[in-house]
Amino acid sequence: MLTVKLLPGVPLVDSPFFEEDAPMILARDQLRVAKDLNEKGYATIDFPDPDIDEKIEAIKRDLRGRFDWEGWRNGKLDGLRIQDAWRFDSRVKDIAVNSKILDLLSAVYGRQAFPFQTLNFPVGTQQAAHSDHAHFNSIPDRFMCGVWLAFEDIDDENGPLFYYPGSHKWPSYQNEHLGVSYADISTGFPAYRRYVALWDALVEKQALKREVFRAAKGQALIWTSNLLHGGSVQVDTNRTRWSQVTHYFFEGCAYTTPVANDTFQGKIAFRDIADIRSGDLVPNVVSGAIVRDGFREAIKTEFRGFDNMNATRMQVIQAKIVKSCFKHDRALPRGFDPIAYVKANPDLIDAEVDPFEHYLIYGQAEGRSLR
Protein backbone atom coordinates (compact mmCIF):
# COMPACT_ATOMS: atom_id res chain seq x y z
CA MET A 1 0.00 0.00 0.00
CA LEU A 2 1.83 3.04 -1.26
CA THR A 3 -0.58 5.45 0.46
CA VAL A 4 0.21 4.13 3.92
CA LYS A 5 3.91 3.78 3.20
CA LEU A 6 4.53 7.12 1.51
CA LEU A 7 1.58 9.31 2.48
CA PRO A 8 0.00 8.13 5.74
CA GLY A 9 -1.42 11.64 6.20
CA VAL A 10 -3.58 11.49 3.07
CA PRO A 11 -7.01 9.78 3.07
CA LEU A 12 -7.16 6.77 0.76
CA VAL A 13 -10.00 8.41 -1.22
CA ASP A 14 -7.74 11.40 -1.96
CA SER A 15 -4.51 9.48 -2.48
CA PRO A 16 -2.49 9.83 -5.68
CA PHE A 17 -2.14 6.02 -5.39
CA PHE A 18 -5.91 5.47 -5.13
CA GLU A 19 -6.18 3.42 -8.34
CA GLU A 20 -3.49 0.97 -7.24
CA ASP A 21 -4.31 0.76 -3.52
CA ALA A 22 -8.11 0.89 -3.28
CA PRO A 23 -8.91 -2.33 -5.24
CA MET A 24 -6.37 -4.25 -3.16
CA ILE A 25 -7.89 -3.50 0.21
CA LEU A 26 -11.57 -2.62 -0.23
CA ALA A 27 -14.52 -4.96 -0.60
CA ARG A 28 -16.69 -4.48 -3.68
CA ASP A 29 -19.35 -2.26 -1.99
CA GLN A 30 -16.71 -0.18 -0.30
CA LEU A 31 -14.86 0.24 -3.59
CA ARG A 32 -17.97 1.60 -5.30
CA VAL A 33 -18.36 4.24 -2.58
CA ALA A 34 -14.63 5.02 -2.55
CA LYS A 35 -14.58 5.52 -6.32
CA ASP A 36 -17.53 7.91 -6.16
CA LEU A 37 -15.88 9.89 -3.36
CA ASN A 38 -12.62 10.01 -5.29
CA GLU A 39 -14.14 10.98 -8.64
CA LYS A 40 -17.21 13.04 -7.69
CA GLY A 41 -16.62 14.08 -4.08
CA TYR A 42 -19.81 12.38 -2.88
CA ALA A 43 -21.46 8.96 -2.77
CA THR A 44 -25.04 7.92 -2.09
CA ILE A 45 -26.11 4.87 -0.08
CA ASP A 46 -29.20 3.38 1.50
CA PHE A 47 -28.79 3.96 5.21
CA PRO A 48 -27.66 0.58 6.60
CA ASP A 49 -30.13 0.10 9.46
CA PRO A 50 -33.24 -2.13 9.08
CA ASP A 51 -35.07 -0.02 11.70
CA ILE A 52 -34.23 3.35 10.17
CA ASP A 53 -37.84 4.16 9.31
CA GLU A 54 -39.05 3.77 12.91
CA LYS A 55 -36.09 5.72 14.25
CA ILE A 56 -36.71 8.58 11.85
CA GLU A 57 -40.38 8.78 12.80
CA ALA A 58 -39.55 8.69 16.53
CA ILE A 59 -36.99 11.52 16.12
CA LYS A 60 -39.49 13.66 14.24
CA ARG A 61 -42.07 13.12 17.00
CA ASP A 62 -39.53 14.01 19.70
CA LEU A 63 -38.09 17.11 18.04
CA ARG A 64 -41.19 18.59 16.40
CA GLY A 65 -42.24 20.60 19.46
CA ARG A 66 -38.82 22.25 19.81
CA PHE A 67 -39.04 24.45 16.69
CA ASP A 68 -40.58 27.88 16.08
CA TRP A 69 -42.40 26.85 12.90
CA GLU A 70 -44.40 30.07 12.70
CA GLY A 71 -41.26 32.19 13.06
CA TRP A 72 -39.71 30.35 10.13
CA ARG A 73 -42.78 30.44 7.90
CA ASN A 74 -43.32 34.17 8.38
CA GLY A 75 -39.66 34.84 7.62
CA LYS A 76 -38.52 35.99 11.09
CA LEU A 77 -36.09 33.10 11.38
CA ASP A 78 -33.47 32.15 8.79
CA GLY A 79 -33.61 28.45 9.55
CA LEU A 80 -34.56 25.78 12.05
CA ARG A 81 -32.04 23.35 13.44
CA ILE A 82 -30.90 21.53 16.54
CA GLN A 83 -27.21 20.95 16.97
CA ASP A 84 -26.04 17.89 18.89
CA ALA A 85 -29.45 16.38 19.65
CA TRP A 86 -27.47 13.15 20.13
CA ARG A 87 -26.83 14.37 23.69
CA PHE A 88 -30.51 13.88 24.62
CA ASP A 89 -32.04 11.74 21.85
CA SER A 90 -30.84 8.13 21.69
CA ARG A 91 -32.09 7.61 18.10
CA VAL A 92 -30.14 10.61 16.80
CA LYS A 93 -27.11 9.06 18.48
CA ASP A 94 -27.90 5.61 17.02
CA ILE A 95 -27.79 7.09 13.52
CA ALA A 96 -24.51 8.91 14.25
CA VAL A 97 -22.76 5.83 15.65
CA ASN A 98 -24.10 3.32 13.09
CA SER A 99 -21.36 0.69 12.96
CA LYS A 100 -21.74 -0.07 9.25
CA ILE A 101 -21.24 3.61 8.41
CA LEU A 102 -18.23 3.78 10.72
CA ASP A 103 -16.71 0.65 9.12
CA LEU A 104 -17.33 1.99 5.64
CA LEU A 105 -15.82 5.43 6.34
CA SER A 106 -12.85 3.94 8.18
CA ALA A 107 -12.13 1.59 5.26
CA VAL A 108 -12.37 4.18 2.50
CA TYR A 109 -10.40 6.85 4.41
CA GLY A 110 -7.85 4.43 5.88
CA ARG A 111 -8.22 5.65 9.48
CA GLN A 112 -10.79 5.02 12.22
CA ALA A 113 -13.78 7.35 11.76
CA PHE A 114 -15.73 8.86 14.65
CA PRO A 115 -18.82 11.13 14.71
CA PHE A 116 -18.40 14.51 16.43
CA GLN A 117 -21.49 16.58 15.61
CA THR A 118 -25.12 16.11 14.63
CA LEU A 119 -27.49 18.64 13.06
CA ASN A 120 -31.22 17.98 12.74
CA PHE A 121 -33.19 20.12 10.31
CA PRO A 122 -37.01 20.01 9.98
CA VAL A 123 -36.99 22.36 6.95
CA GLY A 124 -34.53 23.27 4.19
CA THR A 125 -31.41 25.08 5.36
CA GLN A 126 -31.21 27.29 2.24
CA GLN A 127 -27.54 27.62 3.12
CA ALA A 128 -25.28 29.28 0.54
CA ALA A 129 -22.67 27.09 -1.14
CA HIS A 130 -19.70 26.44 1.15
CA SER A 131 -16.81 24.06 1.65
CA ASP A 132 -16.40 22.56 5.11
CA HIS A 133 -12.67 23.29 4.80
CA ALA A 134 -13.39 26.84 5.95
CA HIS A 135 -15.38 25.67 8.98
CA PHE A 136 -13.78 22.53 10.32
CA ASN A 137 -10.85 20.61 9.06
CA SER A 138 -8.23 18.21 10.27
CA ILE A 139 -4.45 18.37 10.23
CA PRO A 140 -3.42 16.65 8.04
CA ASP A 141 -6.36 17.94 6.07
CA ARG A 142 -9.34 16.18 4.43
CA PHE A 143 -9.85 13.61 7.23
CA MET A 144 -13.43 14.87 7.63
CA CYS A 145 -16.74 14.08 5.94
CA GLY A 146 -20.47 14.59 6.32
CA VAL A 147 -23.23 11.99 6.12
CA TRP A 148 -26.56 13.59 5.22
CA LEU A 149 -29.66 11.44 5.74
CA ALA A 150 -33.14 12.16 4.30
CA PHE A 151 -35.88 11.81 6.91
CA GLU A 152 -38.55 12.09 4.18
CA ASP A 153 -38.77 12.17 0.38
CA ILE A 154 -37.17 15.32 -0.96
CA ASP A 155 -37.80 17.01 -4.30
CA ASP A 156 -37.25 20.40 -5.93
CA GLU A 157 -40.00 22.05 -3.94
CA ASN A 158 -38.77 21.41 -0.41
CA GLY A 159 -35.16 22.55 -0.54
CA PRO A 160 -32.90 19.68 -1.59
CA LEU A 161 -29.20 19.54 -0.73
CA PHE A 162 -27.05 20.72 -3.65
CA TYR A 163 -23.36 20.33 -4.47
CA TYR A 164 -20.76 20.88 -7.17
CA PRO A 165 -18.96 17.63 -8.14
CA GLY A 166 -15.35 18.41 -8.96
CA SER A 167 -14.98 21.11 -6.29
CA HIS A 168 -13.65 18.41 -3.93
CA LYS A 169 -10.45 18.33 -6.01
CA TRP A 170 -9.69 21.98 -5.34
CA PRO A 171 -6.62 22.70 -3.25
CA SER A 172 -7.35 23.32 0.40
CA TYR A 173 -7.34 27.12 0.27
CA GLN A 174 -6.80 28.61 3.71
CA ASN A 175 -6.43 32.10 5.18
CA GLU A 176 -2.83 32.41 4.02
CA HIS A 177 -3.87 31.78 0.41
CA LEU A 178 -6.62 34.37 0.63
CA GLY A 179 -4.39 36.98 2.22
CA VAL A 180 -6.22 36.89 5.54
CA SER A 181 -4.23 37.50 8.73
CA TYR A 182 -4.92 37.55 12.44
CA ALA A 183 -5.69 41.26 12.14
CA ASP A 184 -8.72 40.39 9.99
CA ILE A 185 -10.00 37.42 11.91
CA SER A 186 -9.75 38.94 15.40
CA THR A 187 -12.68 41.18 14.55
CA GLY A 188 -15.04 38.28 13.78
CA PHE A 189 -14.42 36.77 10.35
CA PRO A 190 -15.01 39.68 7.95
CA ALA A 191 -12.76 37.55 5.77
CA TYR A 192 -15.41 34.88 5.26
CA ARG A 193 -16.78 36.71 2.25
CA ARG A 194 -13.42 36.30 0.53
CA TYR A 195 -13.99 32.55 0.65
CA VAL A 196 -17.43 33.00 -0.87
CA ALA A 197 -16.01 35.14 -3.69
CA LEU A 198 -13.28 32.56 -4.35
CA TRP A 199 -15.75 29.65 -4.46
CA ASP A 200 -17.96 31.60 -6.87
CA ALA A 201 -15.03 32.38 -9.13
CA LEU A 202 -13.74 28.78 -9.12
CA VAL A 203 -17.16 27.37 -10.00
CA GLU A 204 -17.41 29.80 -12.90
CA LYS A 205 -13.85 29.25 -14.10
CA GLN A 206 -14.24 25.46 -14.13
CA ALA A 207 -17.87 25.60 -15.32
CA LEU A 208 -18.84 23.18 -12.56
CA LYS A 209 -22.42 21.95 -12.70
CA ARG A 210 -24.66 22.19 -9.69
CA GLU A 211 -26.43 18.92 -8.83
CA VAL A 212 -29.20 18.29 -6.33
CA PHE A 213 -29.95 15.26 -4.20
CA ARG A 214 -33.59 14.31 -4.76
CA ALA A 215 -33.46 11.80 -1.97
CA ALA A 216 -35.94 9.16 -0.96
CA LYS A 217 -36.54 8.77 2.77
CA GLY A 218 -33.73 6.65 4.24
CA GLN A 219 -31.18 7.51 1.54
CA ALA A 220 -27.92 9.10 2.61
CA LEU A 221 -25.21 11.09 0.89
CA ILE A 222 -21.59 11.14 2.05
CA TRP A 223 -19.68 14.30 1.13
CA THR A 224 -15.94 14.77 1.28
CA SER A 225 -14.51 17.68 3.23
CA ASN A 226 -13.88 20.08 0.33
CA LEU A 227 -17.04 19.44 -1.71
CA LEU A 228 -18.87 22.75 -2.23
CA HIS A 229 -22.44 22.21 -1.04
CA GLY A 230 -25.47 23.95 0.44
CA GLY A 231 -29.27 23.90 0.66
CA SER A 232 -31.56 24.89 -2.24
CA VAL A 233 -34.37 27.33 -1.65
CA GLN A 234 -37.42 25.71 -0.08
CA VAL A 235 -40.03 26.84 -2.56
CA ASP A 236 -43.01 25.34 -0.74
CA THR A 237 -42.74 26.64 2.81
CA ASN A 238 -45.84 24.72 3.89
CA ARG A 239 -43.88 21.50 3.61
CA THR A 240 -41.17 20.10 5.84
CA ARG A 241 -37.73 18.88 4.83
CA TRP A 242 -36.54 16.69 7.67
CA SER A 243 -32.92 15.55 7.60
CA GLN A 244 -29.94 14.76 9.81
CA VAL A 245 -26.31 15.57 9.09
CA THR A 246 -23.63 13.79 11.06
CA HIS A 247 -20.11 15.13 10.74
CA TYR A 248 -17.20 12.71 11.10
CA PHE A 249 -13.51 13.19 11.78
CA PHE A 250 -10.86 10.47 11.76
CA GLU A 251 -8.53 9.51 14.59
CA GLY A 252 -4.93 10.60 14.86
CA CYS A 253 -5.39 14.19 13.64
CA ALA A 254 -5.60 17.70 15.09
CA TYR A 255 -8.92 19.49 14.64
CA THR A 256 -9.31 23.21 14.02
CA THR A 257 -11.58 25.96 12.65
CA PRO A 258 -9.54 27.07 9.63
CA VAL A 259 -11.18 30.50 9.09
CA ALA A 260 -9.91 31.43 12.57
CA ASN A 261 -6.32 30.22 12.07
CA ASP A 262 -3.18 32.28 11.54
CA THR A 263 -0.74 29.51 12.32
CA PHE A 264 2.53 31.35 11.93
CA GLN A 265 1.36 34.06 14.31
CA GLY A 266 0.65 31.28 16.81
CA LYS A 267 -3.10 31.55 16.37
CA ILE A 268 -4.61 28.08 16.03
CA ALA A 269 -8.31 27.66 16.74
CA PHE A 270 -8.17 24.12 18.12
CA ARG A 271 -11.55 22.51 18.54
CA ASP A 272 -12.57 20.57 21.61
CA ILE A 273 -14.04 17.62 19.80
CA ALA A 274 -16.19 15.00 21.56
CA ASP A 275 -16.41 11.51 20.11
CA ILE A 276 -20.17 10.86 20.08
CA ARG A 277 -19.56 7.14 20.66
CA SER A 278 -18.16 7.76 24.16
CA GLY A 279 -18.86 11.46 24.79
CA ASP A 280 -15.13 11.85 25.57
CA LEU A 281 -12.89 14.59 24.25
CA VAL A 282 -10.56 13.44 21.48
CA PRO A 283 -6.86 14.38 21.74
CA ASN A 284 -5.26 16.48 19.01
CA VAL A 285 -2.54 14.37 17.42
CA VAL A 286 -0.16 15.19 14.57
CA SER A 287 2.06 12.49 13.02
CA GLY A 288 1.55 10.27 16.05
CA ALA A 289 2.43 12.92 18.66
CA ILE A 290 -0.19 14.47 20.96
CA VAL A 291 -0.39 18.26 20.91
CA ARG A 292 0.62 19.17 24.47
CA ASP A 293 -1.84 21.10 26.66
CA GLY A 294 1.02 23.48 27.46
CA PHE A 295 1.25 24.45 23.81
CA ARG A 296 -2.45 25.22 23.56
CA GLU A 297 -2.31 27.23 26.80
CA ALA A 298 0.70 29.21 25.58
CA ILE A 299 -0.95 30.32 22.37
CA LYS A 300 -4.23 31.06 24.12
CA THR A 301 -2.77 33.85 26.23
CA GLU A 302 -1.51 35.63 23.13
CA PHE A 303 -4.85 35.77 21.39
CA ARG A 304 -7.65 36.72 23.69
CA GLY A 305 -10.13 37.32 20.87
CA PHE A 306 -10.99 33.67 20.53
CA ASP A 307 -10.03 32.34 23.95
CA ASN A 308 -13.34 30.92 24.98
CA MET A 309 -14.81 30.45 21.56
CA ASN A 310 -16.58 27.11 21.56
CA ALA A 311 -17.81 25.09 18.67
CA THR A 312 -21.47 25.95 19.17
CA ARG A 313 -20.96 29.72 19.06
CA MET A 314 -18.72 29.38 16.06
CA GLN A 315 -21.44 27.48 14.27
CA VAL A 316 -24.02 30.16 15.00
CA ILE A 317 -21.71 32.97 13.86
CA GLN A 318 -20.69 31.12 10.74
CA ALA A 319 -24.26 30.27 9.80
CA LYS A 320 -25.24 33.95 10.13
CA ILE A 321 -22.34 35.06 7.98
CA VAL A 322 -22.94 32.45 5.33
CA LYS A 323 -26.52 33.67 5.16
CA SER A 324 -25.80 37.37 5.01
CA CYS A 325 -22.43 37.79 3.38
CA PHE A 326 -23.90 38.61 0.00
CA LYS A 327 -26.04 41.32 1.55
CA HIS A 328 -23.10 43.00 3.23
CA ASP A 329 -20.73 42.57 0.40
CA ARG A 330 -22.67 43.33 -2.69
CA ALA A 331 -25.50 45.58 -1.61
CA LEU A 332 -28.70 43.64 -2.04
CA PRO A 333 -31.87 45.73 -1.80
CA ARG A 334 -33.16 46.17 1.75
CA GLY A 335 -35.28 43.26 2.88
CA PHE A 336 -34.34 41.09 -0.10
CA ASP A 337 -36.24 37.85 0.38
CA PRO A 338 -34.73 34.95 -1.61
CA ILE A 339 -37.90 32.88 -1.42
CA ALA A 340 -40.19 35.71 -2.53
CA TYR A 341 -37.75 36.44 -5.38
CA VAL A 342 -37.85 32.86 -6.63
CA LYS A 343 -41.64 32.69 -6.32
CA ALA A 344 -41.96 35.92 -8.31
CA ASN A 345 -39.72 34.47 -11.05
CA PRO A 346 -40.76 30.82 -11.44
CA ASP A 347 -38.27 30.12 -14.24
CA LEU A 348 -35.59 30.30 -11.55
CA ILE A 349 -37.07 27.26 -9.85
CA ASP A 350 -36.43 25.13 -12.93
CA ALA A 351 -32.93 26.52 -13.23
CA GLU A 352 -32.23 25.73 -9.53
CA VAL A 353 -30.35 28.97 -9.12
CA ASP A 354 -29.04 30.51 -5.94
CA PRO A 355 -31.42 33.51 -5.69
CA PHE A 356 -28.78 35.78 -4.08
CA GLU A 357 -26.32 35.17 -6.88
CA HIS A 358 -28.95 35.27 -9.56
CA TYR A 359 -30.31 38.64 -8.48
CA LEU A 360 -26.88 40.23 -8.21
CA ILE A 361 -25.53 38.92 -11.49
CA TYR A 362 -28.63 38.97 -13.70
CA GLY A 363 -31.87 39.89 -11.94
CA GLN A 364 -30.90 43.45 -11.10
CA ALA A 365 -29.85 44.22 -14.68
CA GLU A 366 -32.95 42.50 -16.07
CA GLY A 367 -35.27 44.46 -13.78
CA ARG A 368 -36.75 41.29 -12.30
CA SER A 369 -39.54 41.53 -9.71
CA LEU A 370 -38.44 41.07 -6.13
CA ARG A 371 -41.70 39.65 -4.87
Interface positions with ligand AKG (CB under 6 A): 119, 121, 124-125, 127, 161, 229-231, 243, 245
Complex with ligand AKG: residue 124 or 140, whichever CB lies closer: 124
**H-helix or E-strand spanning residue 121:** strand 113-121
Cβ proximity to ligand AKG: between 2 and 216 the closer is 216
Closer Cβ to ligand AKG, 3 or 237, answer by number: 237
Nearest Cα to Cα of residue 94 among 359, 252, 276: 276
- Tell the smallest beta-carbon distance from residue 169 to ligand AKG (Å): 19
Shortest distance (Å) from residue 37 CB to ligand AKG: 17
Q: Tell me whether residue 96 or residue 245 sits nearer to ligand AKG (CB atom).
A: 245
Compute how many other C-beta atoms are within 10 angstroms of the C-beta atom of residue 290.
11
- Which of 8, 50, 16, 11 lies closest to 33, judged by CA? 11
We find the least distance from the C-beta atom of residue 243 to ligand AKG, in angstroms, to be 5
Closer residue to ligand AKG (CB): 194 or 229: 229
Distance (Å, whole) CA 323 – CA 302: 31
Identify which of residues 245 and 254 has a Cβ nearer to ligand AKG in the complex.
245
Least CB distance to ligand AKG at residue 223 (A): 8
Task: Give the angle subtended at the CA of 149 by the CAs of 143 and 153, to the nearest 5°.
Answer: 150
Residue nearest ligand AKG (C-beta atom) = 231
Least distance between ligand AKG and beta carbon 144 (Å): 11
CB atoms within 10 A of CB 114: 21
Residue 98 to residue 326: CA distance in whole angstroms: 38
DSSP-assigned letter for residue 280: P
- Among residues 247, 217, 254, 216, the alpha carbon closest in space to that of 229 is found at 247
Q: How many CB atoms lie within 10 A of CB 9?
A: 16
Min dist CB 106 to ligand AKG, Å, is 21
